[in-house]
């Protein structure tokens, strides 16, 4: 259990102790409404008399002495001469119970009528204060924790459990000094409503700082959680085999769930609010100001929530996201700030995943995170007003196979790979400045996320392969080493971007030629319309005029120039082609059908091959039986059997993590042997498929985006990479 000798002089200031008189004053019994580090107002007059014996004079008439506290609608007046400048304030009579610590190190929970608990155990005292509030109440009552304390080391689950209609105001600091198993969650609630925490400070290594489940009408503000000494804890080994991980058995009782320490994917998370143990989401969540430092996972996570308002979250040196919204609807987030240059994960500063809808974000500021923003897995109708993303170590903004996402302006600078990468349906990117000015030496010093490709260049400003897009009014000059704007998309408008368009470059118009110049293959789809921006590289010496038109060659669009006024000398033009409309053709994605196939990786053209030891890798096509795959439907999934042995494609041992090996094995009917083929439509009209196993939301991936024969097939988060897409050619 917790160390009763803590808090020590080193962790909790000795002057953060009270007298019983001062504690009662904080409840309004004595009228003093402030708490000082060195004590509070004495409440005695100049003659030494007690000013708080009664509220009437000797004749029964109302009386108030000149130096007695006045409760003026919550704005209390105090004898400031006896208070320190750095004091914690609460208006008189706000708290129903106060937790305080005397000069002997004993904690007390007092109401205005009685002492509810006294002892050396910090958590027990706070829990006694909470439990001492009115039973069956239907309006909020408040516990003021006017003391700091230390929890740990512990050998059993340790937490303060909050019931409905509770305000827990923590004026002190909760120190967590655990070791071994991670068993401390300072604040927890399950199946409650109308809980409020107006301020909270936690330092140390809790499992979660705050974990609230299946609860409604939650308000948190002024939360400061600083993780440290995480190496004192054992690695989590209580992870379930299922994915996504859960922290409950839906058939369990409330008592059983509260007795469950909880596993949600990683350890040492700041704030988690979820509704995953019931059919309805948790609702009406308000989060004010949050600062989290050093978290082993996310700073703030919501899962299965609706009607959410977050003011500002700042995350520093966390392993994962500052804010992650999972299955969250109708949410507004004013500001998200994150800086975590040593994070080994791929998590973005701000992430929406697993079916988020109708989310509006004011500003995302990200520094040296793995990613700045990531919108993924059926998260639709997301609007982000402004971004300031610098130094993202694997994509600045990544928007996957989702619908209706808008980024309305800001800066993306000095990232690895694409600044903006998306294959959404309905993407709007506008008013972004995308640039890269890192030196070669600075790029070599970037710490790449674990398992990411060994690429240290900002390859593209914007790379979009979806449909129904709008890429407008962006400045991409200096934004990519391979391409500035790469569009392999249908029904997409690309116009008025500085630095690039659907195609750009320089061309020489040849004097005296019937066709002054032709640029072939500016775009590969027929259902599009274009416009041209062009100007001479130098001012012509005499009169000159030209015209242009776009001509369909049968395989793509060509840009053709012709003279109206031939200047008598060649003329060099710089040009940008805009796509002013993308056509209105609806693309019906074709599902994979049963059959026997050769399966080729899109990025390399090499074929998936089962080698002698059962491993699967890419090889040159030879037509061998170990490269022929029988694809058969099995319910909502497919079974992929290799022709020569009858073994089926599987993930080794049913593993779920990134990097899990892909191989063939005897068919046991497991979910790790059944596959979803997700269709991917390219703008050239070709279909590819991503192979995702039934047991985890990852995809078959050719390791390291290798072009070489022998490169291994493994599982990885699906990122729309061409090394994760396969052509199925029926044999």
Closest C-alpha to 175, from 145, 213, 139: 145
- In angstroms and rounded to an integer, the radius of gyration of the C-alpha atoms of the chain is 32
679, HSE (Cβ side, Cα atoms, 13 Å): 12
> CB under 8 Å to 455, separation ≥6 — which residues?
416, 417
Contact 263, 239 (CB under 8 A): yes
Please state which of the four CATH numbers 3.40.50.620, 3.40.50.720, 2.60.120.1440, 2.80.10.50 is assigned to the domain occupying 595-730. Answer: 2.80.10.50
pLDDT at 176: 98
Q: Six-digit token pair at 316?
A: 């520093």
CA 169 to each of CA 6, 98, 143, 316, 676: distance values in angstroms, whole numbers, following the listed order: 21, 10, 6, 24, 49
SS3 label, residue 625: helix
703 by DSSP, 3-state: which? helix
* Strand-by-strand arrangement of the 517-523 sheet: 517-523, 557-565, 545-552
- Predicted structure pTM score: 0.75
Cα distances (Å, whole numbers) of residue 599 to 67, 186, 324, 629, 644: 87, 52, 36, 8, 15
Residues 6+ apart with CB under 8 A from 168: 126, 130, 142, 143, 145, 160, 162, 187, 195, 196, 197, 200
Q: What is the tens place of the pLDDT at every residue in 603-638?
A: 999 999 999 999 999 999 999 999 999 999 999 999
In terms of Cα–Cα distance, which of 400, 419, 549 is closest to 497? 419
> Could you give the CA distance from residue 388 to residue 220 in angstroms, rounded to a whole number?
26
**Location of structure tokens 């990479």:** 721
CA–CA distances in Å: residue 437 to residues 17, 414, 442, 504: 54, 6, 10, 21
Cβ neighbours, 10 Å, residue 455:
14
Do residues 301 and 333 make contact, with C-beta atoms less than 8 angstroms apart? no
The SS3 of residue 128 is helix
d(CA 399, CA 424): 7
Q: Determine the Cα–Cα distance for residues 427 and 573; give it in Å rounded to an integer.
A: 31
Dihedrals φ, ψ of 621, to 5°? -70, 125
Contact assessment for residue 550 and residue 557, using Cβ atoms and an 8 Å cutoff? yes
Q: What are phi and psi of 362, to 5 degrees?
A: -75, -55
CA 102 to chain centre: 43
CB 375 within 8 A of CB 357: no
- By CB neighbour count within 10 A (0-12 exposed, 13-18 middle, 19+ buried), where does 94 fall? buried
Distance CA 91, CA 79 (A): 14
Read out DSSP for 566-601?
Answer: --SS-EEEEEEEEEEE-------PPPP-SEEEEEEE
> Residues of the chain whose pLDDT is less than 50?
1-15, 29-68, 72-93, 585-586
């Amino acid at each position: 259990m917790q160390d009763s000798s803590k808090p020590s002089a080193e962790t909790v200031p000795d002057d953060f102790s009270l007298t019983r008189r001062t504690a009662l004053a904080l409840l309004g019994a004595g009228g003093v409404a402030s708490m000082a580090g060195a004590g509070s107002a004495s409440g005695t007059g100049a003659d030494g008399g007690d000013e708080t014996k009664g509220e009437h004079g000797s004749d029964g008439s109302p009386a108030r002495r000149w130096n007695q506290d006045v409760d003026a609608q919550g704005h209390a007046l105090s004898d400031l001469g006896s208070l320190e400048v750095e004091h914690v304030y609460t208006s008189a009579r706000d708290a129903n119970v106060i937790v305080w610590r005397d000069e002997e190190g004993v904690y007390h929970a007092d109401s205005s009528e009685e002492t509810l608990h006294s002892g050396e155990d910090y958590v027990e005292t706070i829990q006694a204060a909470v439990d001492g509030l009115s039973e069956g109440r239907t309006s909020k009552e408040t516990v003021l924790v006017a003391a700091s304390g230390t929890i740990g080391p512990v050998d059993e689950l340790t937490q303060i459990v909050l019931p409905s209609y509770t305000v827990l105001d923590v004026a002190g600091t909760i120190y967590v000094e655990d070791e071994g198993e991670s068993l401390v969650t300072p604040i927890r609630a399950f199946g409650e409503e109308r809980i409020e925490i107006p301020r909270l400070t936690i330092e140390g290594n809790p499992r979660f700082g705050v974990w609230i489940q299946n609860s409604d009408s939650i308000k948190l503000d002024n939360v400061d959680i600083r993780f440290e000494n995480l190496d004192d804890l054992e690695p989590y080994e209580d992870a379930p085999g299922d994915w996504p991980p859960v922290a409950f058995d839906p058939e369990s009782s409330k008592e059983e769930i509260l007795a469950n320490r909880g596993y949600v994917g990683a350890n040492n998370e700041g704030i988690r609010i979820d509704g995953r143990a019931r059919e309805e989401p948790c609702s009406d969540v308000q989060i004010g100001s949050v600062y989290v430092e050093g978290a082993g996972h996310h700073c703030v996570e919501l899962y299965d929530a609706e009607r959410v308002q977050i003011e500002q979250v700042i995350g520093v040196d966390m392993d994962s996201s500052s804010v992650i919204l999972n299955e969250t609807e109708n949410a507004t987030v004013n500001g998200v700030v994150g800086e975590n240059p040593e994070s080994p994960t791929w998590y973005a500063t701000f992430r929406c995943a697993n079916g988020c809808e109708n989310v509006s974000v004011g500003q995302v500021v990200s520094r040296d995170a793995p990613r700045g923003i990531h919108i993924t897995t059926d998260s639709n109708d997301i609007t982000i007003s402004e971004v300031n993303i610098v130094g993202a170590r694997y994509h600045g903004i990544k928007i996957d196979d989702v619908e209706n996402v808008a980024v309305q302006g800001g800066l993306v600078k000095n990232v690895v790979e694409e600044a903006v990468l998306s294959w959404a349906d309905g993407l709007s990117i506008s008013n972004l400045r995308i640039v890269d000015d890192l030196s070669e030496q600075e790029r070599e010093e970037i710490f790449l996320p674990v398992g990411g490709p060994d690429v240290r260049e900002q390859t593209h400003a914007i790379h979009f392969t979806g449909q129904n897009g709008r890429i407008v009014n962006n400045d991409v000059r200096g934004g990519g080493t391979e391409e500035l704007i790469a569009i392999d998309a249908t029904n997409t408008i690309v116009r008025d971007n500085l630095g690039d368009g659907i195609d750009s470059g320089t061309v020489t118009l040849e004097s005296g030629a019937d066709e002054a110049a032709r640029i072939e293959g500016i775009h590969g789809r027929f259902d599009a319309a274009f416009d041209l921006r062009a100007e001479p590289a130098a001012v012509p010496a005499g009169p000159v005029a030209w015209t242009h038109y776009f001509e369909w060659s049968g395989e793509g669009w060509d840009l053709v120039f012709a003279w109206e006024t031939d200047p008598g000398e060649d003329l060099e033009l710089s040009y940008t082609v805009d796509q002013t409309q993308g056509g209105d053709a609806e693309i019906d994605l074709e599902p994979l059908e049963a059959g026997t196939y050769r399966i080729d990786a899109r990025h390399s053209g090499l074929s998936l091959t089962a080698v002698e030891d059962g491993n699967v890798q890419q090889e040159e096509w030879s037509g061998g039986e170990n490269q022929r795959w029988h694809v058969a439907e099995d319910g909502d999934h497919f079974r992929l059997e290799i022709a020569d042995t009858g073994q089926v494609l599987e993930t080794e041992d049913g593993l779920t993590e990134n990097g899990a090996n892909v191989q063939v094995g005897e068919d046991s009917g497991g979910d790790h042997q059944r596959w979803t083929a997700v269709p991917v439509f390219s703008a050239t009209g070709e279909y590819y498929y991503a192979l995702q196993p039934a047991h985890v939301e990852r995809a078959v991936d050719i390791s390291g985006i290798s072009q070489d024969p022998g490169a291994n097939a493994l599982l990885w988060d699906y990122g729309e990479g061409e090394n994760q897409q396969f052509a199925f050619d029926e044999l």
